[in-house]
Structure formats: C-alpha cells, structure tokens
Amino acid sequence: MNEFELIDRLTAALPSHPAVVTGAGDDCAVLDLGAPETLTLFKTDAVVEGIHFTHDCPGEKIGHKALARCLSDLAAMGGTPVAALVTLGLKRSFDVGLVESIYAGMNTLAARVGMAIVGGETTTNPERLLISIAVIGTVPRGRQILRSGAKPGDAIFVTGELGGSLDSRHLEFEPRLAEGRWLAEHFRIHAMLDLSDGLAGDLRHILNRSGVGAELLSSAIPISRSARTRARAESSAKPPLLAALTDGEDFELLFTVAGRVAVPLLDAWKRQFPKLKLSCIGKITTGRGITLRDKNGTRPLSAHGYVHFS
C-alpha cells in the first residue's frame, strides 16, 4: 500500500464539522471560522532526517525547508500565512546548537513572509530528527484555489524550472506566496497545486479531482540547468525530461486557466514577475490520464513522481 492508497483509506470516513469548507484532499484544509472577509487555511507537513535532508545538512537549511514546505501549500491556495506551531522529535543525544540553527532558519523565513511562530512541542524520537509544522493562514472569501476546478480546454502553466532539485534547490526554494496571491487576485485560476512529488505525479492530483485528462508538450516543459548538467555528467542519471517530470521537490506552482486567458496572463506575469519564468506546458483534455506530445507524435505518459512506501 503506497502513500496515496493509505490516504484514501484513512480519509474515507473522517468526521467533519460545519466550519469545514474543504477537507482532506487539497493542499490545505479550508475553514470558515466566522471572519467576515476571509477563510482560514490549515496545513501540516513534516520533514525527516534521511528522507528530506541528510545528517550533515546545515540547521538553517533544515529549518527553512521545514517551514517553506507548508508555506508552499498555502501559496497554492492563494493564501497568506499567519502563524505556525513546530513539533520537534529529537534524539536523546541531540545537538543544542543544531536545534538553535534550525529555529534560526525558520525564524528568518517567517520574518520575511510576515508570519509568527507561536509555540509547539518537543519529544524524544530515538532514531532520527523529525520536524512537524502546522500552519494557519487566510484567503479572501471566494478566492481560495482548489485542485478540483480544471476544465477541458484549459491551458496548463508552471512557474520556474523543474528537475534536479536534489543538487541543493530542495533546501533553498522560496515558496511562491506572492505569486499565488497575485494569480488569485487578478485571474480566475481553475485549479492549482505546488509541485512536491514531481510534475508527472502531482498533475494527476488535479486531473483526478477534476475528472479530466491532460496533454503535455515535451518541448515546453522547463527543465532546470541542474537536471541537464547531471545528465551530461553521470551516465546513470535520468534524462533531463524525465528528471523534470519525476524528480520532485521543485515546489513550483502548477495551475490551469481558461485557454482564452493564457496569453493575457503570460503578458501580465512578465510585467509583474520579470525574474521568474512562467511556461505554458499543455492543455486539459476530456479524456483521462496524461499524454506527452513531441515531434514523434503523442503517447501515454506512464511515469509518476515520488510516492512514499512504494
């Protein structure tokens, strides 16, 4: 049983509450707590030594990544962060200096995005360091962007470049908070998420929630320099396109919008975010699954991104 099969099994009979607008299955839960103009976003995520970072990784980068992962999910909903709680699972022989540097990394990022860290929990975890973070944020009523709104004919966009994140970018990425809010404010984005497990896997979340398919244009997928360099330097490395589709931990925004809006959006983006690439990589279709089109024609895409327990 892999990660997503387990999630489906565990969420099949969850209790709910009248305040829940959107529950399990999206980047964040959406709650209506009575504020007249905003809804509340609620998200938790964890990083584990040996899975998300190595034992010799600088503490500041560990802390940055731990918090930034949650903030990336808020960005995918068009939200603004408010506060975070931090749970630390530490070895009995933990390094106080390392823990302080982890907090320094979190504090720096939190200050930069204007949010608070308001407490948490510490506990013993004998084998390895674990950090779990819960974040709350806000989004204007009616402006939250879900995974479930993609429509046939939509253009598919992705920010930045993909693949090769393990070379260092997975520890240093910036959550696209400003970009997510701008998209939610200026355009009717049909569906959006952040790319944590790879384009080939994460796009399927939008397709499954929306009941649609997708066609990707291989030449339009923005491949990072890291992925290309690794492919040239290591005979065992993934081909660059496959790396861009499956490596994961890019933490870029993937979204769909009506095809007629694609060109105006791209033009406005270039004016607003001239240093961040935005690429139209395909379209939403009426079928199911993902097809990949290149100079040789169209074929089903069987590749998936990273999946825990698989």
Q: What is the DSSP string of 238-293?
A: PPHHHHHHH------EEEEE-GGGHHHHHHHHHHH-TTS-EEEEEEEESSSEEEEE
CATH class of 3-140: alpha beta
Lowest-pLDDT range, 66-80, 156-170, 196-210, 229-243?
A: 229-243
Q: What mean pLDDT comes out for the span 133-146?
A: 97
Cα gap 22→42, rounded to integer Å: 10
Pick from 251, 240, 241, 226: nearest CA to 158: 251
- Comparing 303 with 29, the larger pLDDT belongs to 29
Structure-token pair, residue 8: 């489906």
Name the segment(s) of the chain with CATH classification 3.90.650.10: 155-300
Contacts of 13 (CB under 8 A, 6+ apart): none
Residue 243 CB-half CA count within 13 A: 23
Say whether pLDDT at 49 is over 70.
yes
Query: Residue 40: beta bridge partners?
Result: 31, 138
Confidence of residue 167 (pLDDT cuts 50, 70, 90): confident
Name the segment(s) of the chain with CATH classification 3.30.1330.10: 3-140
Say whether pLDDT at 305 is over 90.
no
Cα gap 40→35, rounded to integer Å: 9
Q: What mean pLDDT comes out for the span 130-145?
A: 97
Strands 278-285, 213-217: pairing is antiparallel
Say whether pLDDT at 116 is over 80.
yes
Cα 138-3-285 angle, rounded to 5 deg? 70
Confidence of residue 310 (pLDDT cuts 50, 70, 90): low
Question: How confident is the model at residue 236, as a pLDDT?
Answer: 79
Average pLDDT, the chain: 95
Classify residue 143 by burial, with Cβ atoms within 10 Å: 0-12, 13-18, 19+: middle
CATH class of 155-300: alpha beta
Q: What's at 116, amino acid-wise?
A: A
